[in-house]
Amino acid sequence: MKLIDLTLPWSLIETDEHQVPLKSDRTAYTGVVYDFKLNSMTGSYIDFPGHILETANGIHAGNLPLSGLYRIPATLLRPNRSGSGITATELEEARGKLPPTPCLVIHGKAGTDIPLISREIYLTMEAVSWIIDSGCRLLVSDTYESDRLDGVFLKLFGAGISTVCMPVNLDKLTSQVMKITVFPPLLDGIVQIPCRIAAEIE
């Protein structure tokens, strides 16, 4: 088994470090603790459907069953793009004869140097419909919305699909079949939160 970390590290967060003296009649040492202030889109992060108010379904970082995030069977799709918008046909061809899985990993920017934050490559709405029809419940992708704001997330969340944004190291995935684990903090009511994500390849 090989583990590949797909997590974009945190950056640009405010950190206050505190040193706490701890002393007893037996020992003395100094603890180091931190106060953090960060945006929910720091590093790699997971969006639950409630990230859009209109598609909230009650699922959040505090109540999604662990089974929904741990070692989820996944299929890697590297579509052979004919343009900027990834189509349903391109996703279908990328999957080939593999059966549907509850998690899809889309490496839409494969072979490019386009930054993660760019919307130059995007999912077409027909591709979004294909993803929903595939039975996907968790989508990990470096490609989502276009600059036009077509409603990609609105449709995905409306179908109950959670998404992981800003994954890295997708080029290191050497197998099309894997298991994905997402590690968000257990926080009640939070519908968008930084996470760690790992791919497990045989």
For the segment 75-103, the average pLDDT, to the nearest whole number, is 97
Domain boundaries, the chain: 2-11+39-201
Cα gap 132→179, rounded to integer Å: 19
Which is more confidently placed, 164 or 14? 164
pLDDT of residue 13: 81
* Cα dihedral 126→175→110→179 (10° resolution): 60
Instruction: Band the pLDDT of 185: cuts 50, 70, 90.
Output: very high
Cα gap 131→108, rounded to integer Å: 14
pLDDT above 80: residue 12: no
Cα gap 72→194, rounded to integer Å: 19
pLDDT above 80: residue 34: yes
| pTM of this structure | 0.94
**Cα 3–chain centre separation:** 16
pLDDT above 90: residue 141: yes
Cα gap 4→13, rounded to integer Å: 25
pLDDT of residue 11: 79
Give the H or E element holding residue 139: strand 138-141
What percentage of residues in the chain have a pLDDT greater than 90?
96
Unique residue bearing structure tokens 């989508």: 139
Q: Which CATH number fits domain 2-11+39-201: 3.50.30.50, 3.90.1150.10, 3.40.50.2300, 3.40.470.10?
A: 3.50.30.50
Q: Could you tell me what percentage of the chain is helix, strand and coil, using 3-state DSSP and rounding each to the nearest 5? A: 20, 30, 50
pLDDT above 90: residue 47: yes
pLDDT of residue 10: 87
Give the H or E element holding residue 62: none
pLDDT tens-digit series, residues 66-83: 999 999 999 999 999 999
